[in-house]
Each structure stands twice: as structure tokens, then as C-alpha cells.
Amino acid sequence: MTVMTTSLEENMKYLNRRLAVNESFDLVYRVIKIGERNACIYFIDGFCKDELMQKMLQYFMALKEDELPENAHEMSKRCMPYVEVDLQEKWEQIEYFILSGVFALLIDGYDRCLLIDSRTYPARSVSEPEKDKALRGSKDGFVETVVFNTALIRRRIRNNELRMEMLQAGNSSQTDIVLCYMNNRVDHEYLDAIKTRIRNIQVDALTMNQESLAECLYKKKWYNPFPKFKYTERPDTAAAQILEGDIIILVDNSPSAMITPTSVFDIIEEADDYYFPPITGTYLRLSRMLIAILTYILTPTFLLLMQNPEWIPAGFEFIIIKEQSNVPILWQFLILELAIDGLRLAAVNTPNMLSTPLSIMAALVLGEFSVKSGWFNSEIMLYMAFVALSGYTQANYELGYAIKFMRILNLILTAIFGIWGYIAAIIILVVSITTNKTISGRSYIYPLFPFNLRQFTKRFFRLRLPGAKE
């Protein structure tokens, strides 16, 4: 049976078997009387508002027989004391809405189900995101409920061109995915391609939410670590990207938004660039770019100069390691690269009450004692400390790790082949970035290639708003 019948007994028998209501304690059904007709309600305990359901049941049970319409359509128009009401006759859709938390009402003699969207999801309050913090600007952030997230964007863009399209993916999970875009600014060819890819996703469930969706949307080459998406937990950043003509993808149960298409310059941008005056925002942006370059070249360049001390410029001889190295310099760098990631993982899993004393212990052991024990030289510790701290100037974790992988490759090639390995590693980095493509197929380094002077200036410098008066 694919559609409903007018017999309440047959409909209940089919739905009870499909939903296994006698086996799941939280899936509740109840037979009631509405205007002397038998009726049945289905809902999931925990998703429906108790006070609202109580008022609706009181209203339904108070209806008299002559007040009850002859069909579901008239019932929804005349006797439904709620705003969000839908009619559905296909069992597949009815099951989906019930399992999503919608209140379902079946009445004997009606060939369609009345779906009352009175659901409420368990959710935390809107607060400042832990990751995408800004010194100025709003302090609200996305949460795990997609309806709240769309409301945060709607609050910032009050335009009739703003679209919020909902799709589903995952055979079992049926995860809600929302595409947010400006209809008069988006690339519709790219938008259609994104919709097609989402509809054609053949997976059982999006177990890891956005990352699972990203892997389904773009079958990227594993050897190119540079990210194809930018993630943000800030509604103001998402709204700004929508107004730029980009597409924002919201996934239910995920407290962040995916921005696409994304170039490397989009990933480097942060909210603080726009919450300060143009000159300050420009300084912050250029500083972030310069630090990203330094985190890549600092340790390989130091290793190259230690292999060739005669190349050290006059006046910089003090950088030469004066103490004996018990462990080769390359292995010191590689061990510390791994140790830094170990400290990051430990920090994530450390209880808050223990984070301070354990941080002090880690600083003592990896700082002073590791140098005195002879494992590491103090110069190596200094440069790796700079690299570790500078990595946090990039809000995007994927970009930070892409730079890290390229830096490790440079260290290894420099240690083996010297100056030629150093040059080859830089060429590999440049080729990885320049040959990379966004998910829309556009150049990853646009507006450098193809060159666009206006966009190039906008990416590197924080300019005044177009409508600002002099």
C-alpha cells in the first residue's frame, strides 16, 4: 500500500506495522474521538510541545458531529487551530514527517493525513562560537538545529531574493540539508549542479554531517590537502558570503555552515578584518598571509642554512647551533611536529579542571627539560614554538594542516637533496595551489588567475564600503 485509504482501521494497521509502535517506547499513538468519528494521533515523545498538544486535543474532542467537515482539505481550512498544517496521502512522506517529529492526525473517512508541525527539537541556546571568535561584532553563533540557523541568517538579510531550499540525503538518516543563496546573485548553473549532486548522493547516512556531505559533493584527490570548503560558525560571516553570491550549505545537527565555492583567499579572510577600520583590517589580513608563509618556510630554511653555513648572511651567524646535536636536526623537527599534534589532541580531551596544571607540566617537560636532556636544541624548540603558535592565526584547520604537510615534505626533501630538494618542495606547493580547483571548477587562486584587478585589490586590502561617503 503506497497511499492512504478512507478506512482508519486499515491505515492504523499499516502504519503500526511500518513504525513498529509497540517496540519503540518513544513513538506514541493514541485513538481518540473527533465529532463522533474515530481518529488516531501519532507523534514522537520529546519532539512535540506538550502544552500545545493538550490545547489541540481539547479543541478536537470538543468538536460536534455536525461541525466536522467531510474531507481533510476542509478540515485543515476550517477546524485546525494551528498555522503550520500540511496534507499528505503518500505513506512514504507520512512516515518521514512522523519520524521527523511532526504531529500526525488520521481521521476515519479521510483519505489524507493532517500533519501538524508543532515539533520542537532539544537544542542549546545561541551563544558565541568557541572557534570563530571576534574581538568585535555579534556574539551569536550557529547551533545544531537548522531552523534556528536559518533564522539567524534571515535576521541579517531582509530581502525577498534570499532563498532557503531544503533537501535530504542519506537513505536511513534522511538528513536535512538547506541551501541558502541570493536568487539574483548566485551562479544558477553552479547551483543546479550542487542540487543534482546532493540528490544523487547514495549513502546510508551522513554519519559525520558536513564532512560526510563534503566528501560526497567533491571527490577530491587525496594527495592535495588544500581545502575546498570554508566552514564558519558565525551567522554574520555566512550572511556576508551569501550577499557576495556564494552558496551556504547548512546541515542539520551541525553548528557550522559550509561556504562554497571557496578560493584560498576566501579561506584566509576572517570576521575581524571587517569589524575594524580599513587600515587595521588590511594590516590584520596581510599579517595573517605573511605569517602563513613564514610557518611554511621557517624550519626548512633553517635546516638548509645549517647544512650550508656559508650561505648565512653577514650579521646572522648567531643562528648557527652552537651546542652539540645528539639527534639529527631533521628528526628533531619531525618529532616536535608530532609532539605538537599530540599536545593538541591532549588539550581537546583534557577536563577543564586539569587543563592548567597539565599545561604547566607539558611546558616544563617539553621546554626546559627536553633541552637539558640533550634530545632537542634550544634553537629548534624556539622555531617550532613559533610555528606551533602561528598555526593558530589561521581559523581554518584544513588550511593549517595543508601548510603543515607541505612543510614536512619540504623538510624531508631538503634533508635528502639539499637546495634542490628545497626548491622542488616549493614548486610542489605552488603547483598544488595553482592546479587546484574549487568545487565549481573555478581557479583556486582567483583573482590572481585569471587576473582581476578589482577583486585582487579587494582580497588583499580591506577597502571602504562602496556606499560610504568620503
Identity of residue 348: V
- The pLDDT of 55-84, averaged and rounded, is 87
More confident residue, 445 or 361: 445
Give the residue with greater pLDDT, 164 vs 63: 164
**Do residue 257 and residue 283 come from a single domain?**
no
User: Do the domain assignments include residue 451?
Assistant: no
Residue 395 lies in a domain: yes
Better pLDDT: 276 or 106: 106
Average pLDDT for 322-327: 83
257-283: average pLDDT: 88
**For residue 239, is pLDDT > 90?**
yes
Calpha distance 246→241 (Å, rounded): 6
Q: Name the burial class of residue 245, with classes exposed (0-12), middle (13-18) and buried (19+) by CB atoms within 10 angstroms of its CB.
A: middle
What pTM, to 2 d.p., does this model score?
Answer: 0.86
Q: From CA 119, how far away is CA 365, in angstroms rounded?
A: 53
**How far is it, in rounded angstroms, from Cα 377 to Cα 370?**
8
Assigned C-alpha cell, 360: 604547566
Sheet holding 247-251, edge to edge: 162-169, 175-182, 247-251, 257-260, 230-232
Higher-confidence residue of 410 and 204: namely 410
Burial (Cβ within 10 Å: 0-12, 13-18, ≥19) of residue 343:
middle
Of 129, 93, 136, 135, nearest to 112 by C-alpha is 93
> How much is the pLDDT for 394?
82
Q: Is residue 283 domain-shared with residue 427, that is, in the same domain?
A: yes
Q: What is the mean pLDDT of residues 288-299?
A: 93
Shared domain for 289 and 253, answered yes or no, is no
Do 193 and 91 fall within a single domain?
no
Residues ≥6 apart with Cβ < 8 Å to 114: 72, 75, 76, 80, 85, 86, 87, 104, 105, 106, 107
**Is 447 within a domain?**
no
Quickly tell me which residue has 543534482 as its cell.
196
pLDDT of residue 222: 67
Looking at the fold, whether 294 and 377 belong to one and the same domain comes out as: yes
Which range scores top for mean pLDDT: 4-18, 45-59, 451-465? 4-18
Among 167, 180, 192, smallest CA distance to 248 is for 180
CA-CA distance, 103 to 125, in Å (whole number)?
Answer: 24
Within-domain flag for 94:
yes
- Asked, for residue 12, whether it belongs to a domain, the answer is yes
Residue 384 cell numbers, joined: 617550532
DSSP helix/strand/coil, 167: strand
181 and 112, same domain (yes or no)? no
- Asked whether residue 292 falls in the same domain as residue 253, the answer is no
Supply the pLDDT for residue 66. Answer: 82
* 285 plus 370 within the same structural domain: yes
| Helix 397-417 with 419-434: angle, nearest 10 deg | 150
What local confidence, expressed as pLDDT, does residue 392 receive?
84
In a domain, 192, yes or no: yes
Q: Is the pLDDT of residue 87 over 90?
A: yes
Range(s) of the domain holding residue 181: 146-262
Do residues 417 and 302 share a domain?
A: yes
Residue 136: inside a domain? no
Are 453 and 464 within 8 A, CB to CB? no
- Residue 354's pLDDT band (cuts 50, 70, 90): low
For residues 6 and 367, what is the distance between their CA atoms, to the nearest angstrom? 77
**Last residue of some domain: 95, 116, 137?**
116
What is residue 355's predicted lDDT score, i.e. its pLDDT?
A: 63
Average pLDDT, the chain: 87
SS3 202: coil
Q: How far is CA 414 from the centre of its chain?
A: 36
Higher pLDDT, 247 or 392: 247
More confident residue, 365 or 417: 417
What value does the mean pLDDT take over residues 348-367? Answer: 66
| 38 has pLDDT over 60 | yes
Q: What is the pLDDT of residue 462?
A: 78
* pLDDT at 449 (0 to 100): 82
147's grid cell: 531552523
Give the whole-number percent of the chain exceeding pLDDT 90: 44
Cell of 99: 519520524
Is the distance from CB of 167 to CB of 177 less than 8 angstroms?
A: yes
Q: 433 is written with which cell numbers?
A: 595551489
Whether residue 415 has pLDDT greater than 70: yes
Residue 290 and residue 406 share a domain:
yes
- Taking only the tens place, the pLDDT of each residue in 128-159 is 887 778 877 888 899 988 989 999 999 999 99
Cα(411)–Cα(331) distance, integer angstroms = 10
| pLDDT bucket at 274, cuts 50 / 70 / 90 | confident
Determine the length of the chain: 470
Per the structure, how many domains does the chain have? 3
Task: Confirm whether 441 is domain-assigned.
Answer: no
Give yes or no: residues 337 and 207 share one domain. Answer: no
204-226 per-position pLDDT tens digit? 888 788 888 888 888 766 678 89
Residue 118 near residue 52 (C-beta atoms within 8 A): yes
> 94 and 186 in one domain?
no
Alpha carbon distance 211, 196 (integer Å): 18
Domain finish residue from 262, 287, 308 = 262
pLDDT value of residue 294: 94
Bridge partner residues of 437 (DSSP): 443
Tell me the pLDDT band of 120, cut-offs 50, 70 and 90. Answer: confident
At residue 160, the pLDDT reads 93
